[in-house]
Structure 1
Amino acid sequence: MLLRVLASQLSPAGSRARLSILIYHRVLAQPDALLSAEPDAAAFRWQLQVLSSLFTVLPLSEAVERLAKGTLPARAACITFDDGYADNATVALPILKELGLPATFFIATGYLDGGLMFNDRILETLRRVPEGAIEWPDLGLDHRLIGGDQDRKQIAAELIQGLKHLEPSERQARAQAIAERSPTPLPKDLMMTREQVKHLAAAGMTIGGHTHAHPILARTPDAQARAEIAGGRETLEHLLGEPVHLFAYPNGKPEQDYDHRHVTMVREAGFAASVSTAWGVSTSSSDPYQLARFTPWDQTPGRFALRLVRNLLTSRGAHEV
């Protein structure tokens, strides 16, 4: 295959290797008009089939170690999930096992066993609001009309963007105020249970830290940020009975969502490596505490494959991320 040959040239084995790390959040059992950016099970399966046909998929912990040693195979890639959604265990895991592929799951521990992230409170509230006019002046929404799911998505996106960078307790309080406008109860099973996290680990998957409450670290006081980073790790290690070596920065944009202070905190907390959401691939010169990741969003196998290969052209060095 031409793309495989090109990928081998762009990402050879050894010291010149380039590590591709994919980001997922959810894998839906069925398509969802309000979550059109998230793959369903059928799309996830073909995406992984394309990935494994072009790349050598490794556990992230092994890939990080081999990247540092200069022993990565050609076209090395890893699969990661952020946040800890239950469908990671119920939908994604069976497909990963079917295809024999490893993945790393970064868990925000504060939402285990019935929690709901602020963005889901908002989205699930809008899902339940009936069509017609809404008047929420205290939220900056005057004379808005819901005529279908596209309107729900647009309003939810506006509200989420407005709350995303608030301090965690204020963000949750405002999201809860929105949730109270839902005409029916919000779901309590969107996030994993502790047993599901243990099931992932028992299935050979890697579990990583993602803080406790998923704050934007750059907007969080240093003492609280340090507690979030270390506390999430401690919860997971107590749950699993084994060390947790990998971390993912919430939201993950360098110098926007986290900065050099938080890189130091992650290192001092005992993690061996961490990942950002800076687009591109990592090389032997990349900071192991700021590894690049990306999300191919294309909806057809051919375009998805091309995106995977094109991403190899964007490398992140030690001081670029």
Structure 2
Amino acid sequence: MERGALSLLSGGGRRAPTILIYHRILPEQDKLFPSEVHRAQFDRQLAWLKTRFNVLPLLDTVRLAAEGRLPARSACITFDDGYADNAEVALPVLQKHGLHASFFIATGFLDGGRMWNDTVIESVRRAPVDVLDATSLGLGRHAVGNWEQKRQAISALIGQLKYLPMAERLEQVGKVAQLSGAVLPQDLMMTTEQLRKLHTAGMGIGGHTVNHPILARLDGAEARREIAQGKAALESALDAPVRVFAYPNGKPGQDYLAEHVAMVRELGFEAAVSTSWGASRGATDWFQLPRFTPWDEGMGKFSLRMARNMLQPAARV
């Protein structure tokens, strides 16, 4: 897809940019999740993006748009959660192409932590058995003898656990890990040193709470603490202000509500992003910016999906 067509579809002036969301960039293709973006694929995507879009820092797009000066075909690259491969694999590729990205960090997982979904994934991946029997937890019995069975088991378990209250979910996940008999990795998430490495390289750092809870499932005071304490921890580690935020999970009306948008604004952020696909329509809400998840291996399909995303109106609360 060429620049002229993209200019007709994309934002500019006071309209929001196209925002891509990544989580992990793996060194090579993963047999368990072959559609997970890996280094060579990320390299191809960045090469394509830089020839067709004005790739800008997220905070810069907010400030330019406030003045009505955002260029057409503006795009931003973002990462969620704080995986170590963001610093070790993604950063060198970004630097190769001279591009900027913003990284949203859940601070409770820095320095040896592990997100609950990764505990499930790695428990299933590394289980030294052909069947993971979690019936004692009310989570069923799952064949895990090959890659397809593992994928199905992971999907089923995460689906059952995702919307449990945070404490109950963590307890259940810990029991799943014990039942699996797997030895789990301790280095999936960033260290504080890797966080500072990204910041020193000029990348953007944003808030993503402390424990990555679903804000809509918390009471107001707890949700506010999660947002505020995550921001404070990042600012302390970096000795720099943190101005952008990403809602955990990020589905409007399901994972966050209007009250959480108000909290983010009140806590001093300048913008926030959701995980709603599509493009902003009407007046841009800079505290509910939609984002797009790219996954196509071939660049032809990738570009068509980008175009389709820009035609779809995004949801917001």
**Residue 176 (structure 1) aligned to one of 171, 174, 179:** 174
| Alignment coverage as a number of residue pairs | 317
Contact between 1:218 and 1:257, CA under 8 Å: does it hold in 2?
A: yes
1:46 alignment counterpart: 44
For residues 132 and 242 of structure 2, what CA distance do their matches in structure 1 show?
Answer: 46
> How far apart are 1:13 and its partner, in Å?
4.1
Aligned to 2:288: 290
Native 8 Å contact 2:19 2:291 kept in 1: yes
* Matching residue of 2:142: 144
CA contact (8 A) 2:12 2:65 kept: no
**Structure 2: 5+ residue stretches without partners:** none
SS at match of 1:278: coil
**Structure 2 counterpart of 1:73:** 71
**Given that residues 28 and 41 in structure 1 are in contact (C-alpha distance below 8 angstroms), is that contact kept between their aligned partners in structure 2?**
yes
TM-superposed deviation, 1:185: 2.0
Q: Residue 117 of structure 1 aligns to which amino acid in structure 2?
A: M
Do the aligned partners of 1:18 and 1:315 also contact (CA within 8 Å) in 2? no
Q: Report deviation, 1:143.
A: 5.0
Q: What aligned pairs does 1:271-310 form with structure 2 within 5 A after superposition?
A: 271-282=269-280, 285-310=283-308
1:71-150 pair list within 5 angstroms: 71-140=69-138, 142-150=140-148
SS of 1:180's partner is helix
Question: CA-to-partner distance for each residue in 1:184-235, whole Å, 9 max, x for gaps?
Answer: 4210000000010000000000000000000000001111100000000000
State the SS of the aligned residue for 1:70.
coil
Q: Which amino acid in the other structure matches residue 209 of structure 2?
A: T
RMSD, aligned CA: 1.7
Seen in structure 2, the aligned counterparts of structure 1 residues 290 and 126 have a Cα distance that, compared at 3 Å, is: same
Q: Distance in 2 between matches of 1:284 and 1:98?
A: 36
1:6 counterpart residue number: 5
Q: Aligned letter for 1:7? A: L
What amino acid maps onto 2:13 in structure 1?
G
Q: What is the distance in 2 between the residues matched to 1:277 and 1:268? A: 21
- The Cα shift of 1:58 comes to 0.2
Choose 96-105 or 266-275, whichever is displaced more.
266-275
Asked if the contact 2:131–2:143 (Cα under 8 Å) also holds between the matched residues in 1, the reply is yes
Structure 1 residue aligned with 2:255: 257
1:123 Cα offset (Å)? 0.6
Q: In 2, Cα distance between the equivalents of 1:86 and 1:200?
A: 11
Q: By how many angstroms is 1:320 displaced?
A: 4.5
Matched residue of 1:105: which SS?
strand
Residues in 1 aligned to 2:131 and 2:216: alpha-carbon distance in whole angstroms = 37
* Structure 1 Cα separation of the partners of residues 164 and 131 of structure 2: 28
Identity %: 51
User: Normalization by structure 2: what TM-score?
Assistant: 0.95
Contact 2:134–2:179 under 8 Å retained in 1: no
Query: More deviation in 299-308 or 239-248?
Result: 299-308
Structure 1 residue runs of 5 or longer lacking an equivalent are none
Verify: 1:165 aligned to 2:163, yes or no: yes
Map of 2:32 onto structure 1: 34
Distance 2:271 2:278 in 1: 17
Work out which of the residue numbers 228, 231, 235 in structure 2 matches 1:233: 231
SS in 1 for 2:240: coil
Quote the offset at 1:272 in angstroms.
Answer: 0.9
Q: CA deviation at 1:34?
A: 1.9
3-state secondary structure, aligned to 2:149: helix
SS of the equivalent of 1:35 reads coil
